[in-house]
């Protein structure tokens, strides 16, 4: 099973306080960090945490109100100073590319790495990787607003030890292969498939992030 950690970098609204930043949550899974929103002061909160900016895999913004995005230019500048090399996906509602163009035109933003800008325009999977995907659904706010859910792939069903023994599977490496979804061949030539010893697949972990919305269908779908 993967290791997942959530760090609330900011939970305030409107303005940061000495003891609390504004909206930002970091999800850390197996050496990769995903950031949802990036309000003012997020990078300071990040520096106080045990999270390493170099592990940042993607940033997802719900909407363009300042308490959700004003920390982004500073964070990207710090990543440049830290000599980040890998491309960084950035997802947000329509208007993201124009916003970035304006920041560059006035000299506020000049990253030393590639930004992969993606404007979210419809519900569904918007980003995926090894063993996970992120889906988006529209929320209800005064401005266009999207919520996200980080979803792990389904896990294999529970291993039936007694069933495996009854089929003649010897304890050891073959148990592990079956649990990973691989078929095996016994010494007598008999093939045992994972379906013979595994129960129904189990849903992976799902974490939904919904901000600044009234109850709506999109939030229900995400959660």
Half-sphere exposure of 25 (CA within 13 A, CB side): 16
Q: Do the beta carbons of residue 206 and residue 2 sit within 8 Å? A: no
Say how far apart CA 175 and CA 161 lie, in whole Å.
9
Tokens of 53: 């900016």
Closest CA to 87 of 56, 110, 60, 61: 56
Say how far apart CA 109 and CA 76 lie, in whole Å.
8
Phi/psi-derived region of residue 7, left when phi > 0, alpha when psi is between -120 and 50, beta in every other case: beta
Give the length of the chain. Answer: 223
Place of tokens 């129904």: 200
Q: Point out the catalytic residue in the list 30, 67, 160, 196.
A: 67
Catalytic residue at 67? yes
Give catalytic residue positions: 67
């Amino acid at each position: 099973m993967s290791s997942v950690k959530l760090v609330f970098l900011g939970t305030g609204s409107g303005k940061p306080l000495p003891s609390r930043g504004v909206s930002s949550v970091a999800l850390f899974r197996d050496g990769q960090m995903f950031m949802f929103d990036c309000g003012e002061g997020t990078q300071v909160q990040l520096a106080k945490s045990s999270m390493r900016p170099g592990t940042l895999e993607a940033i997802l913004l719900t909407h363009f109100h300042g308490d959700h995005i004003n920390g982004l230019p500073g964070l990207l500048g710090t990543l440049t100073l830290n000599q980040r090399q890998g491309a960084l996906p950035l997802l947000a509602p329509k208007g993201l590319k124009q916003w970035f163009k304006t920041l560059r035109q006035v000299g506020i933003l000049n990253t030393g790495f590639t930004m992969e800008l993606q404007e979210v325009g419809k519900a569904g999977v918007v980003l995926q990787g090894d063993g996970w995907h992120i889906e988006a659904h529209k929320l209800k706010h005064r401005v266009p607003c999207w919520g996200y859910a980080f979803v792990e792939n389904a896990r294999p069903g529970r291993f039936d030890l007694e069933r495996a023994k009854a089929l003649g599977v010897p304890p050891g490496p073959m148990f592990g292969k079956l649990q990973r979804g691989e078929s095996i061949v016994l010494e007598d030539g008999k093939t045992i498939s994972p379906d013979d010893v595994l129960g129904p697949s189990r849903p992976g972990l799902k974490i939904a992030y919904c901000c600044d919305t009234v109850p709506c269908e999109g939030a229900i779908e995400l959660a």
